[in-house]
Amino acid sequence: MKRLNLPIKWKLTLWYSLILASILILFSGGVYIYFKNSLQKSIDAKLKSIADVLSTAIVETHGASVFSNFERYLENVLGKKPKGKFIQIMDSAGRIGAKMSDIDAETLPTPFSSIERALKGEIVYETIETYSRQRIRAIILPIVDREKITSIVQVGTSLEDFDETMKRLLIIFLISIPTSIAITTVSGFFLARKALKPVDKIRRAAIKISSSNLDERIDIGEKRDELGRLATTFNEMIDRLRDSFQRINQFSIDVSHELKTPLTILKGETEVTLRKDRDIEDYKRLLKSNLEEIDRMTKIIDDLLLLSKADSKDILIKTEDIALKDLIIDVCMNMQIFAKNKGVELVLGDIDEVILKGDELKLRRMLCNIIENGIKYTSQGGKVEVYSSTNNGYINIHIKDNGIGIPENDIKFIFDRFYRGDKSRRRESGSGLGLSISKWIAEAHRGTIEVTSAPAQGSLFSVRLPL
């Protein structure tokens, strides 16, 4: 069976209407039953009161003057002639000795079984329907004189007013319940439509948003309810998507540029060399230059492959015990040659002797990238210092240089892929992936990497790793 795909406003309206209908029907049914039982008990109590008074009076007078003038007798006993009542006295054989009727029915079709029960000392209540289809509520009460049932008294009253009252109450319910449900349904629909209007606004705004239009935002005013928070969440998601698209676009542009440059060099040098015959030394220089560009492209591709695997969580971190001091000393010794060629002093400061759990090769690459970055951007005669400190279960490795520094506006991009702080030295400053890889390695070891810097005042890279 195919389900109906109704709008939410209709579903809410139907649910509210069904719930209200159920409540009203249950409540009205309870009120109707309670009111009916209360009225019936009240009628029965009045009938029994009259029957008790008559029974007591008959016993006290031993039936004297009862049958001579029954209506006058009732006036004397009850104080007034009962209105709308049917009263009759019957002997033990069921014969009527006296009766008074203020209703249309002259006789009541009393079942013999009820008379038998009364003669056994039971008080019998029953609802009798006359030949004219009039409903009578009656009580049959045994009259006990000297511990012997001598006769019975039957008192009845018409249920016409009772039936009319219950009929009016039922009509009120039959009119008021559908009317209330109809009013609630209409009101609920308009309220649901008004409440869900921001959702439709969000939908229309979302339709306009695409990869080429990520500046569009959902505006639903100053609402701070669930829909307001939903719109805020959508806007935050769009901000993240916009940043991601911008990064992807910039990444594509940078990759294209990084690979296009060595390819252009390869093509240009090869075309120049092939224009005429040259000696073997010229061909060797060409091949050596081509090999350098190939190595550069290979390194870029390897770094991109590493970052791609890192993004997809395909790289496993090998965990082993690492003596941090020995690792830093070894890395600094390897970087001394690069520092001397650049005319930069590489200084090893105080290093805490601690043991780390991590991947030695990746931590070595992280330190090499950061130290190499500091040497590249430090002028001849400058200094790069490496030292560490321990704090609250973490080891902080600091690489400080007194180089050209990083402008404040560029610090937030320093770990982006293909970012180079010194735009004038793009070819000499590497591929721009080293710090991105270093950041990933630090985070893969549940650590962080931060940088503080200012132009012409150097930079301080701080790697924080858990012990």
Q: Any idea what the CATH number is for the domain that residue 245 is in?
A: 1.10.287.130
Q: Look at residue 211 and tell me if it is in a domain.
A: no
**d(Cα 349, Cα 371) in Å, to the nearest integer?**
14
User: What CATH code is carried by the domain that includes residue 66?
Assistant: 3.30.450.20
Same-domain check for residues 31 and 74: yes
328 in the same domain as 368: yes
In a domain, 230, yes or no: yes
Helices (H), 196-315: 197-208, 226-274, 280-311
Predicted local distance difference test score (pLDDT) of residue 297: 78
Contact 255, 416 (CB under 8 A): no
DSSP state of 67: T
Q: Using an 8 Å Cβ cutoff, are 24 and 179 in contact? A: no
Q: Which of 284, 311, 338 is the last residue of a domain?
A: 311
Distance CA 309, CA 303 (A): 10
**Between these two residues, 198 and 73, which has the higher pLDDT value?**
198
Does 56 have pLDDT greater than 90? Answer: no
pTM (predicted TM-score): 0.49
Q: Is residue 121 part of a domain?
A: yes
Tens of pLDDT, residue by residue over 271-326, are 877 888 878 887 788 888 788 778 777 777 776 676 666 665 666 677 888 888 89
User: Looking at residue 94, what is its pLDDT?
Assistant: 67
Q: Is residue 183 part of a domain?
A: no
In tens, the pLDDT along 101-149 reads 666 655 666 777 788 888 888 888 888 877 777 788 888 888 887 778 8
Note whether 19 and 134 are same-domain residues: yes
345 in the same domain as 305:
no
Please report the pLDDT score of residue 130 as a whole number.
73
| Lowest-confidence region among 238-242, 257-261, 334-338 | 257-261
Which residues fall within 8 angstroms of residue 259, CB to CB, at 6 or more apart? 297, 300
* 3 state DSSP class of 154: strand
353 and 456 co-located in one domain:
yes
Specify whether 282 is located in the same domain as 351.
no
Q: Does one domain contain both 37 and 121?
A: yes
Return mean pLDDT, the chain: 79
Give the CATH number of the domain where residue 369 resides. 3.30.565.10
Q: How many domains does the chain fold into?
A: 3
Give the DSSP letter string of 251-265.
Answer: HHHHHHHHHHHHHHH
Domain boundary among 288, 311, 334: 311
**The token pair that represents 335 in the structure block:** 């970087």
What the block records as the tokens of 254 is 């940078």
For residues 57 and 142, state if they share a domain: yes
Query: Is 152 domain-assigned?
Result: yes
Order across the sheet with 135-144: list the strands: 96-101, 85-91, 149-158, 135-144, 124-129
Please state the rounded mean pLDDT for residues 162-188: 90
If one compares 74 and 19, the residue with the highest pLDDT of the two is 19
71 and 15 in a common domain: yes
Asked which of 311, 337, 360 is the last residue of a domain, the reply is 311
The whole-number pLDDT of residue 27 equals 93
pLDDT in tens, 428-454: 445 567 788 888 888 888 889 998 888
pLDDT of residue 425: 43
Strands 149-158 and 345-348 turn out to be unpaired
Clarify whether residues 268 and 334 are in a common domain.
Answer: no
For the cut 70, the answer to whether the pLDDT of residue 64 exceeds it is no
The two three-digit tokens of residue 359, written as one number: 């991947």
Report pLDDT for 1. Answer: 44
Overall size of the chain counted in residues: 467
Helix (H) or strand (E) holding 389: strand 383-391
Res 77 pLDDT > 70: no
pLDDT band per the 50, 70, 90 thresholds, residue 427: very low
For residue 180, being part of any structural domain is answered with no
Q: How far apart are the first and last CA of the chain?
A: 62
Among 403, 399, 404, 421, residue whose Cα is nearest residue 412: 421
- 122 and 60 housed in the same domain: yes
In a domain, 215, yes or no: no
By residue range, what is the domain housing residue 292? 226-311
CA of residue 420 relative to chain centroid, distance = 44
Instruction: Give residue 426's pLDDT band: very low, low, confident or very high (50, 70, 90).
Output: very low
Phi, psi of 369, rounded to the nearest 5 degrees: -60, -45
- 120 with 234, same domain: the answer is no
Q: Is residue 191, in this structure, part of any structural domain at all?
A: no
* Alpha helices, DSSP H, located in 120-225: 160-195, 197-208
